[in-house]
Amino acid sequence: MRRFFEKISENAPSVDPSYRIGMRVVKTVAAVTICLVVAWLIGSRDSLPIAAIAAIVTMQVTRSDTLRIGIFRVLGTLIGGVFGVLAVFIGSMLPFPLAAQFIVIIPIMLLINLYVCNLLRMQDSCSISCVVIIIIASHLTMDATYYELVLLALIRLRDTMIGVVIATLINMLPNFIRWCLRIERKCTDET
């Protein structure tokens, strides 16, 4: 047992005193802050975590990776919302007890969802679409109308899009500023 803990401590991460906060950290915190302000302005407390999480997950090192992850995040949320509402619709029509609906319907919907995402070559959307299915399908226990479930799915999509758009714009901002400064230098050099 002692050898086990010695081996773990050898491979344990150490503190890097030379670490400095980089631009990705600054951009992520800026994107989350703006998401929180936007969610507060639209008056939706439930939007706060969804938009902020979408911004955190979307923010990548490069603009192209941020855009790619953001697109897959939005598409995964959309697909998961559709399958989540479908799960509730089918579950409500079954004569099984509620527990059986959860045990039968949700795994089937997850399986179909994963098949569709892979069929469409959207592997990066698989996990978020499964999460959204579970969130929406958890409303099987509530007396929510189909209108309310579709509205919930659309609100999740809106909140995700807020986070994705903000993260993408924040990630592009430094390059935009550099581009503007180059244009300004060219204009001042010509005069």
- Please provide the DSSP assignment of 50-113 as one string: HHHHHHHHH--SSHHHHHHHHHHHHHHHHHHHHHHHHHHHHHHHS-S-HHHHHHHHHHHHHHHH
Of 134, 111, 114, nearest in space to 122 by CA: 114
To the nearest 10°, report the CA torsion of 111, 112, 115, 119: -170
Domains of the chain by residue range: 22-190
Are 90 and 119 a contacting pair, CB within 8 Å? Answer: no
Please write the tens of the pLDDT for every residue from 52-94. Answer: 999 999 998 888 899 999 999 999 999 999 998 898 888 778 7
Asked whether the predicted pLDDT for residue 47 surpasses 80, the reply is no
Please write the tens of the pLDDT for every residue from 137-187. Answer: 877 666 667 788 888 888 888 899 999 999 999 988 877 677 767 777 777
